[in-house]
Amino acid sequence: MPRKFKAILFDLGGTLIEYENLTWQELSRQGFKLAFEMLQDSIEVLPDKQEFVRLFDDYFESRYEDSLKSLVEVRVTDLVKDCFTTLNLPGDGFVQKQFLEAYYKPITEQVRMVRGAPEILDELKSCGYKLTLVSNTIFPGDFHRRELKRFGLFDFFDHLLFSCEVGFKKPHPIIFKKALQAMQVQPEEVIFVGDRLKEDIAGPKSLGMKAILKLIKGRDYSEDIKPDAIIEDLGEAPEAIEQLRLEK
């Protein structure tokens, strides 16, 4: 008998949206420029920009290294708050939020939707599948909800799980288990679609889900992690899902 899948989980970055070829260093440089321009209108005495950037980078690097082992997600809101506190900067949570909004602006401006994403999600939704997004991100989930609404993808999803809100990032089992609980399905009833071997393939498969790898041109996929199907374009996802459904 064909398998009975009830839900499809999707990764976000690299799967449904993609980024232009700007380095993190360049985006961060542009972001800090805008953020400090915002601060000029919010506080009387500006901090030394180089000192702030150095402190931010130090906090991020140390916490990111820890997160690689613990899989506890780094939250950029905490980094900004701690920088303000360490440097004795005035400003409440609203000012820090505005700082972060300005910092994120260059990132959101170069985000692009993967071609055909709305049509593919609509097709899967019309087949009766529950759709849930499971994404790793250090930025507030509301930033990504805003992007999903901008691209017309938000309403396709029954649930949205962001690692910054869950507290743990893929491939930690907690974030996948929360998705299963939200959808009220069993792992064997779910297929995950994503572009990273550890996070999107090994993580879901360790719980008993099927997993489809969406290839990213130029990325190294030499790790010994085997997806259940491989696609080069998001448009191939419905057929790959159907093939997995027909397997006995």
Whole-model pTM over 0.85: yes
Whether 6 and 130 have beta carbons less than 8 Å apart is answered as yes
Which of 39-43, 47-51, 231-235 has the largest mean confidence?
Answer: 231-235
| Digit-coded pLDDT (tens) for 163-190 | 999 999 999 999 999 999 999 999 999 9
Residue 210, pLDDT score: 98
Closest to 5 measured CA to CA, from 197, 181, 245? 245
Closest CA to 138 of 53, 78, 200: 78
* Closest residue by Cα to residue 211 from 239, 240, 170, 182: 240
Residue type, 146: R
Res 1 pLDDT > 70: no
How high does pLDDT run on average in the chain? Answer: 94
Residue 112 has pLDDT above 60, yes or no: yes
User: Is residue 55 over pLDDT 90?
Assistant: yes
Given CA atoms 165, 171, 175, 180 in this order, what sign does their dihedral have?
positive
Average the pLDDT over each of 58-62, 93-97, 191-195 and give the range with the smallest value. Answer: 93-97
Residue 73 has what DSSP assignment?
P
Q: How far is CA 217 from CA 11, 13, 14, 19, 190, in A?
A: 17, 14, 10, 13, 26
Return the pLDDT at 212. Answer: 98
Residue with tokens 């159907």: 242
Task: Copy the structure tokens of residue 24.
Answer: 């993190």
If pLDDT is split at 50, 70 and 90, which confidence band does 248 have? low
